[in-house]
Structure 1
Amino acid sequence: MTPQFHQLMGEATRLTQAGQLAAATALIQRALGAEGDGRAMGALRPAPAHGADVIDVQARVVESTRFTDAINDIADRAYRTGAKAPKDLRTPCPAAGAPDTFIAGHYAHPSAGARDYRLYIPPQAGSRPLPLVVMLHGCTQDTLDFARGTGMNEAARAQGLFVLYPEQAARLNPQRCWNWFKHSHQAAARGEPAILAGMVRQVMAQHAIDPGRVYVAGLSAGGAMAAILGQAHPELFAAVGVHSGLAAGSAHDLPSGLAAMQRGAPAARRAAVPTIVFHGDADRTVHPANGEQVLAAATPAGARAQAERVAPPGRRASTRRVQRDAAGQVVAEHWLVHGAGHAWSGGHAAGSFTDPSGPDATAEMLRFFLAHGRRNAR
């Protein structure tokens, strides 16, 4: 490493500690430029060619511990303060066990494409294998925004969970939507389901995660992709949470996706993992009928339904419907939140698309998830 690199990184660390995140990011980018010949940090690898739906991104291999520490510190401070963290810097994941960290990472699938992510590592990491919750943001959101709005990291800290936040890139979808409506992103072996499943497996290989307690949840487009992942990879996910989303297979292109969002679309009942659904009955972006269709797709024939009205003081009222199979096990749960629009129920106002007055979707999803696990998982 050149003396200039060490000088720039030292100053970036100082600026980060002072809370000057934008200036620190600019210096880190200068440091990258100073070492950009590839001798010390690894050269930029050109993206392999893919189809029009999946465009790979360039990845930078970084060997500097000081760089890794600095950029992870920037990401963590940005999360806590609500500031914007840098989007174009990749870091390898450090070893698990550091208390309460929120790190940046990158995953590249051999053929389907690549995505960035952030991973929340709880203080309990390293003591025993812990559950993992995968959180898929909605359109126009990013990982930090989604973490702030849902409060999932705070809940994970209390309960001892890893939380993985994959991030969609604007170059792959202009609104940062997951491409749930495209036929090329709905099967296990290709497109975004392949990328996301591979990312999950990479994180599982790097950290002490219980393979029988891996869950996926999402909002809107992220909820639709979570439903697809549950159908495509039941060997990986023990339960699914779909908030304001759509059932797997409800569309095959953009026009059919828009139509499904406006009025719903029939969804065939499939062999599915346990699923919890949240949807506002005043949602004008994704019609509430879609929540019913997610529930129907996840409910086996002959299941028994039990409904109740939930109206905690100071919160929106909801109708909660629980579906049990012939053995009496809960296989699906549906929360219809009365008067709620297209927003994460019970979320924090610091994030976008949240409804702080709704029932706590984060807490209810974690309750549902942790009641379900896959036996003999490896």
Structure 2
Amino acid sequence: MLIPTFLAALSETTTSAQALSSQLTQINDFGPNPRNVSMYIYVPKSLAAKPPILVVPHWCHGTAQAAFNGRPYAAMSDTYGFISIWPDSPNKADYCWDVSSKQSLTHEGGGDAFGIVSMVRWALKEYKGDPDRVFVTGTSSGAMMTNVLIGSYPDVFAAGSAEAGVPFGCFAGEGYGVWSDACATGKIIKNGTEWAKMVFDAYPEYKGFRPKMQVFHGTKDEVLYPQNLKEEIKQWTTVLGLNSTPTSTTPDTPLKGWTRYKYGTKFEAYEAAGVGHNIPNQADVVMEWFDLRCTTGNCYSRTRN
């Protein structure tokens, strides 16, 4: 997959410099993993009873360690007791995720997506985690993988949050490392029914709970054009059976110049005016969406939503 090298320049914070209670640890044997995706996990010293799990796939030209350093979720888990999983792409050419193959775009079909789901299943068993509170968030290629995981594995995840990504199936093609210029530049335009069919076809026999979804995109994104936000909105509102007209529109949220569009309680989209592909991470908004600060009682989950 040949992509602009400046995708590697996504902003990073200083998680590695913070005083964490534990450390990022590699797990080698965690189950079926046909693409040899590497698994790294952060387990805080003070772990919640039946802990939730947060998966954070990195961006193109990134690594698990770079995402760990660049996102504050490990420090947040020290406070709230959830586990975080940081997958590492097997694609050594550009470290982008497989979001194109039939395998990843099919439930239990293989590909990078299946390897990541194996990590989740291992962690749930190893740490007696909460299978109803598994979440995924990523930026750029990690956002694309977030869309893929929510689409291919609605039985595993409770919610997703994607920053500067593309719809499920937009990069579909022959192979594990496909770069779709047509998708990236916003030329793949479908109606909601067409986009939703791609998700439903990933797991045609599934009729159960659908994870809620949150997306962010800059209006000046020069890598994954802002048309992709419109396509994500069409896809996920249709999948979730929602009206395509927002139920509320809130300007200057969470930052000045950003607008939040809510579509009921299960989908929301943030349009960041004047922001390029290097979109600032909104970890606090993501944590609220996942309800990961909730440690007891009626926390959001697949059974309580």
TM value normalised by structure 2: 0.77
Q: Residues 375, 311 of structure 1: CA spacing in aligned structure 2 closer, same or farther, 3 A cutoff?
A: closer
Q: Does residue 335 of the first structure (1) align with residue 270 of the second (2)?
A: yes
Residues in 2 aligned to 1:339 and 1:150: alpha-carbon distance in whole angstroms: 22
Q: RMSD of aligned C-alpha atoms?
A: 2.5
Greater CA drift, 105-114 or 285-294: 105-114
Other-structure match for 1:80: 16
Q: Does residue 280 of the first structure (1) align with residue 241 of the second (2)?
A: no
Other-structure match for 1:115: 37
Give the secondary-structure state (helix, strand or coil) at the position aligned to 1:366: helix
Residues in 2 aligned to 1:362 and 1:118: alpha-carbon distance in whole angstroms: 20
Q: Does residue 307 of the first structure (1) align with residue 226 of the second (2)?
A: no
Residues in 2 aligned to 1:226 and 1:307: alpha-carbon distance in whole angstroms: 24
Residues in 1 aligned to 2:38 and 2:178: alpha-carbon distance in whole angstroms: 28
Other-structure match for 1:14: none
Aligned residues between the structures? 260
Q: Is the contact made by 1:133 and 1:216 (CA closer than 8 Å) also made in structure 2? A: yes
Other-structure match for 1:227: 147
Residues in 2 aligned to 1:109 and 1:123: alpha-carbon distance in whole angstroms: 25
Q: Residues 224, 292 of structure 1: CA spacing in aligned structure 2 closer, same or farther, 3 A cutoff?
A: same
Other-structure match for 1:320: 260
1:136: how far off? 0.6
**Whose relative contact order is higher, 1 or 2, with alpha carbons under 8 Å and at least 6 apart?**
2
1:372: how far off? 3.5
Match of 1:128 among 49, 68, 75: 49
Residues in 2 aligned to 1:117 and 1:239: alpha-carbon distance in whole angstroms: 21
Q: Is the contact made by 2:15 and 2:75 (CA closer than 8 Å) also made in structure 1? A: no
Give the secondary-structure state (helix, strand or coil) at the position aligned to 1:136: coil
1:110: how far off? 3.7
Aligned residue identity for 2:151: Q
Aligned residue identity for 2:233: L
> Highest CA radius of gyration, 1 or 2?
1
How does 1:101-250 map onto structure 2 within 5 Å? Answer: 101-107=23-29, 109-110=31-32, 112-125=34-47, 127-169=48-90, 172-189=91-108, 190-250=110-170
Residues in 2 aligned to 1:184 and 1:331: alpha-carbon distance in whole angstroms: 27
Match of 1:257 among 180, 191, 210: 180
Residues in 2 aligned to 1:173 and 1:293: alpha-carbon distance in whole angstroms: 29
Aligned residue identity for 1:133: L
Other-structure match for 1:66: none
Give the secondary-structure state (helix, strand or coil) at the position aligned to 2:167: coil
Residues in 1 aligned to 2:111 and 2:256: alpha-carbon distance in whole angstroms: 38
More strand by share: 1
Q: Is the contact made by 1:239 and 1:372 (CA closer than 8 Å) also made in structure 2? A: no
Aligned residue identity for 2:217: H
Give the secondary-structure state (helix, strand or coil) at the position aligned to 2:97: coil
Residues in 2 aligned to 1:101 and 1:208: alpha-carbon distance in whole angstroms: 20
The one-character-per-residue Cα deviations of 1:267-307 (angstroms, maximum 9, x if unpaired) are 61256420000111111000111122222211134435111
- Identity, in percent, stands at 19
1:81: how far off? 4.6
Residues in 1 aligned to 2:166 and 2:39: alpha-carbon distance in whole angstroms: 23
The one-character-per-residue Cα deviations of 1:137-168 (angstroms, maximum 9, x if unpaired) are 01000112112222221222232221100001
TM value normalised by structure 1: 0.63
Q: Is the contact made by 1:155 and 1:363 (CA closer than 8 Å) also made in structure 2? A: no
Residues in 1 aligned to 2:62 and 2:257: alpha-carbon distance in whole angstroms: 27
Other-structure match for 2:205: none
The answer for unaligned runs of 5 or more in structure 1 is 1-77, 83-97, 325-329, 347-360
Q: Is the contact made by 1:224 and 1:247 (CA closer than 8 Å) also made in structure 2? A: yes
Q: Residues 194, 255 of structure 1: CA spacing in aligned structure 2 closer, same or farther, 3 A cutoff?
A: closer
Aligned residue identity for 1:261: A
Residues in 2 aligned to 1:108 and 1:156: alpha-carbon distance in whole angstroms: 22
Residues in 1 aligned to 2:267 and 2:72: alpha-carbon distance in whole angstroms: 23
Give the secondary-structure state (helix, strand or coil) at the position aligned to 1:201: helix
